[in-house]
Amino acid sequence: MPESGSSIEGGEGDDTIIMSGNDYSNVRSVSTGDGDDKGVVTGSVYDADIDTGTGDDVIQIGGRIHNSNISTGEGKNITILDYRPKP
């Protein structure tokens, strides 16, 4: 896990975490725990660890992703990287 920055943690059960807005360069760790989790990031992700634990998870990132790790654990998982540069 990176040394500094913010952390977002969910517990056991089905979690939904939505981060909308600009880039998330200060969020270093997102952990949802076990359960069927959904994570949506509309901005870019830099230097972060995302871990959804065991369960059927969906992660969607709408911006750039750089130097980051996504771990979904056991289950039927979907990861959507949907970066579309502006013309």
Torsion sign (Cα): 69, 34, 32, 37 = positive
Domains of the chain: which residue ranges?
A: 6-81
CA atoms within 13 A on the CB side of 5: 17
In angstroms, rounded to a whole number, what is the distance separating the alpha carbons of residues 54 and 70? Answer: 13
Q: Structure tokens of 35?
A: 């359960």
- pLDDT tens for the chain, residues 1 to 87: 445 678 999 988 999 999 887 666 678 899 999 999 999 988 888 889 999 999 999 999 988 888 999 999 999 999 999 877 777
